Amino acid sequence: MSFESNISPEYLDSLHLQWQQNPRSVPPSWQAYFAGFDLGSQVTPAASDPQMAFKQSAVQSLIYRYRDIGHLLACTDPLAPCPISHPLLELQEFGLSEADLDTFFETRNFVQAGGTLREIVDILQQTYCRFLGVEFMHIQNPAERQWLKERMEPARNQPSFSFDEKTRILWKLNAAALFEAFLHKKFLGQKRFSLEGAETLMPLLDHLVGRAAAAGITDLVLGMPHRGRLNVLANLFRKPYATIFAEFEDNLEYAVVGEGDVKYHNGFSTDIETEEGHRIHLTLASNPSHLEAVNPVVEGKCRARQDSYGETGQGRVLPVLLHGDAAFAGQGLVTETLNLSQLEGYRTGGTVHVVVNNQIGFTTLPADARSTRYATDVAKMLSVPIFHVHGEDPEAALFTIQLAFDYRQQFGRDVVIELICYRRHGHNEGDEPFFTQPLMYEAIRNRPSVHELYAAQLEQEGLSREKFKEMSAAVNSCFELALSSEEKTVDQGFQGKWENIERDTSDAPVDTAVAAETLIELGRIATALPADFTPHPKIAKLMDNRRQAIESGDGIDWGGGEALAFASLLHDGTSIRLSGQDCRRGTFNHRHAAPIDSLTGEPTFPLANAAKGDARLQIYNSLLSEAAVLGFDYGYSLETPDALTLWEAQFGDFANGAQVIIDQFIASSVAKWDRASGLVMLLPHGFEGQGPEHSSARIERYLQLCAHHNLIVAAPSTPAQLFHLLRRQVRQTFRRPLIVFTPKGLLRHPLCRSRLNDFAGGRFEEVLSTHRDLKKVRSVLLCSGRIYYDLLERLETAPQDNIALVRVEQLYPLAAATLTATLKPYTKAEKFAWVQEEPQNSGAWNHLRPQLAEILGQEPQYIGRDEAASPAVGSHKTHQHEQQTILDQALGRKNQN
């Protein structure tokens, strides 16, 4: 029996009447009941007319297609006539005609329940085919698509700003345009990479900052190329005009720390108060000319700040990246960085991307620069919205950035805006664009600037021409006053979280020892697995062996030494972040910092239990990228001077894929931008017959980058040395990137072991020597890395008291005084030789040779492989022969093979 049979008809009728008069006056269950009853009792035209049913369906297809490809009919290019039709959006494509325009159709999931076809098409064209084109139907999440529809279609994607808000837009456009004009007039011929043609970017960014601050964002980190950078610094970051003008005149040359950089590469940070009274910290990351290289750096900086804020971090720190159209489509680092966006170890809650589309890359047109319709098509890999906006419609641009930011806040995902504009001058102000694009630049030359176009629009809305002139005069007056003022020194490095870090390096000894009792306890913690955890039997044995070695005080291997370094730092309250390909386990199966439960597949992190205070342990397997991940971790290290941030390459030479990050950021950031980093790079290195791509970490390349104590380059040969080296990195008074050449085969080598006393006493030794009878020594062999153990094994097999082995553990800065003191007692030595397994044009030889000659007072002998174009041979047999030859030459034996 239905529930209706228990209700009197009179009551049901009265309730239905009440619902018809006011649906909210009855309970929700009755609202749903009556709505369904009325819907089921309706007889629609489509239900009684098959032809009408077909057209009804066609209208829904029309709505879908406008949402899907309406952007193809949008007017977004200021240099091209607006499209007036598209064959896939014609009524005939859907079986409809102009005769249907005044026919009423019902709609589903549309801004209104129904309307005439003319009304429906009008709504769709206003929303998707005006000065804003939207790509969003590729998004796989229905909730995201619905959210966007509900915000775009009711407003028809058309902004509504008050006159005061419009006046502020004009102020920003005017300031941007007049700033460029002033620079051009006062500093004629100097490069500035003008924003002219894309001035709409300035009110767009201004609106984003204001909306972000109002929404609770406390930190906005911006990465951008050189075009428009000075304008952003002046008119968004409020860097003093006087300082910028002084940089043009080179008046700040004596205030630069290090070599410095050109003005359109430098970063800046400041706190500002928005018009609405909200405070926000703005950071512009320093970057080189290598386009898009700064992207992962910005993401790393943001993630570090978010981590420091805790659970609210993603809601407080906003990454914003500006791109050029040619670079966004052409640079692979863009794709690599986009791929970081939803990964556990790298996500930042969504990045706002703005592609400033100048419709040209230097002199290359889009037809030669990409194989896609839009410069932004690569971003579709993330299934996020992409907005294409007319660069001369600042109101549409502000509406778009507002919608984009709200989407990021709602879903924690990236969002992309393409601001389609043009470049008024050549690649730089001294370049002649008419050589290669005469037609394009003829159109640009005759085109009024956007601030003039917008001023004319506001004049029709009530802004007087006199008011506009007063506005321009006030801006120019500020420039003239600043030009005659003294420059201001701003944004000095080593402030805030860096204030306790010294700018200059020091070779003072650093105490890194840890008490033996503490180490034993930390060793137990680092190897303890939860009671309800089911490890792989081999992992259980590895952990047992590691613990036993620490407790017994002998036989601690490489993995155990590293674990003690991490555990002791965490115990001291120092946070640790390690990322890289397969780094949780370790490429060579030595680390196992995150054992996996064999039954549940879930990891556990024993080392995390050693942490004290606010210390965090973060170990992440990375995506298969070197450049993006190393750039990210470099950026992370810039924000965490008191933490240990490490990146590990799967094999040392895989870092080749991140050479731009190494050269332009890691090796030179102190010299160029006065920005230090304590990043550690772990690079597996060693010649063990594994072929050209798995042997050399290219020691020579890092040593070639070394100057003025910009890097620390080390090849520790024992677990204890690694322990002290890592601890020293965060205990010394300064910060420099540390390049560590780590072993592969030595990870389990029986001789590559340390005693507990080696950890509990001493420090990192830049030079190590074997203890020999000094009077008997006739040959001193200097070396670094795993070749030492090959030499040692041969000497232990056939002892020779007349040979001493000296290990150079720190290749740069070379501890010359220590090495001199180590070699001085060998007064009877007749031969001093440098032994290496790398080819003669590789390894440390060419870097150390002049320094060794100065220390020794004579030219050292070279023992190693001949010069080679490829780092190592592919044949294991040939490798063994070469290695045997090196040992025979070093130890005075003839090759018997």
Write the pLDDT tens digit of every residue in 538-587. 999 999 999 999 999 999 999 999 999 999 999 999 999 999 999 999 99
Confidence of residue 769 (pLDDT cuts 50, 70, 90): very high
pLDDT digits (tens, 9 = 90+) for 356-410: 999 998 898 999 999 999 999 999 999 999 999 999 999 999 999 999 999 999 9
pLDDT, position 25? 78
Structure confidence by residue, pLDDT tens digits, 269-278: 999 999 999 9
| Cα–Cα distance for residue pair 782/860, rounded to 1 Å | 10
Given a cut of 50, whether residue 293 has pLDDT beyond it is yes
Dmax over CA atoms of the chain, in Å, equals 120
pLDDT of res. 892? 78
Residues 240-266 have a mean pLDDT of 70
State the pLDDT confidence band at 13, using cuts at 50, 70 and 90: confident
C-alpha closest to that of 710 among 668, 745, 749: 668
Please, what is the Cα angle at 237 between 232 and 242, to 5 degrees? 85
On the question of pLDDT at 819 being above 60, the answer is yes
Any idea what DSSP says for residue 639?
T
Which residue spans within 109-164 are E strands per DSSP?
114-116, 132-135
Q: Cα dihedral angle (38, 40, 41, 43), rounded to 10 degrees?
A: 120
Q: How many other CB atoms sit within 10 Å of the CB of residue 665? A: 30
> Tokens standing for 884?
């045997």
What's the CA gap between 593 and 614, in Å, rounded? 20
CB count within 10 Å of CB 406 equals: 16
* Separation of alpha carbons 550 and 569, rounded Å: 17
Strand 386-390 and strand 132-135: the pairing is antiparallel
> Two tokens at 896?
């018997």
- pLDDT band at residue 426, thresholds of 50, 70 and 90? confident
299 closest CA partner among 229, 356, 265, 349: 349
- Residue 452 exposed, middle or buried by CB count within 10 Å (0-12, 13-18, 19+): middle
The more confidently predicted of residues 868 and 430 is 868
Q: Which residue has the higher pLDDT, 29 or 97?
A: 97
SS3 220: strand
The pLDDT value recorded for residue 893 is 66
Instruction: Choose from 168-172, 193-197, 825-829 the range with maximum mean pLDDT.
Output: 168-172
pLDDT band with cut points at 50, 70 and 90 for residue 417: very high
For tokens 């340390």, the residue is 754
Residue 886 has pLDDT above 90, yes or no: yes
Q: What average pLDDT does the segment 723-732 reach?
A: 98
Residue 345 identity:
G
CB 371 within 8 A of CB 378: no
Q: Which pair of tokens denotes residue 355?
A: 């592609």
Distance, CA of 274 to CA of 575 (rounded, Å): 34
Contacts of 871 (CB under 8 A, 6+ apart): 653, 692, 695, 696, 698, 838, 839, 842
pLDDT band at 896 (very low <50, low <70, confident <90, very high): very low
Site of tokens 């306890």? 521
Distance from C-alpha of 787 to C-alpha of 149, rounded to nearest angstrom: 65
Average pLDDT over residues 676-692: 94
Residue 895 has pLDDT above 50, yes or no: no
Q: What is the mean pLDDT of residues 686-696?
A: 91
What is the per-residue pLDDT for 329?
Answer: 96
Does the pLDDT at position 464 exceed 60?
Answer: yes
Helix (H, G, I), strand (E, B) or coil at 782: strand
Map tokens 């990045």 to a residue.
351
Q: Strand ranges (DSSP E) for 81-150?
A: 104-106, 114-116, 132-135
**Beta-bridge partner residues of 271:** 281
- Cβ(226)–Cβ(289) under 8 Å? yes
C-alpha angle 686-589-635 in degrees, rounded to nearest 5: 75
Asked if 145 contacts 139 with a C-beta cutoff of 8 angstroms, the reply is: yes
Q: Helix axis angle, 163-186 relative to 394-411, nearest 10°?
A: 110
Share of the chain above pLDDT 70, in %: 94
* Strand pairing category for 617-621 and 576-580: parallel
Question: How does pLDDT run across 28-78, given as a tens digit for each residue?
Answer: 677 767 766 665 555 555 556 888 999 999 999 999 999 999 999 999 999
Position 237 pLDDT exceeds 80: yes
Q: What is the average pLDDT value for the chain, to the nearest integer? A: 92
Q: Do residues 480 and 186 touch, judged by C-beta distance below 8 A?
A: no
Instruction: Kindly tell me if the per-residue pLDDT of 245 is higher than 90.
Output: no
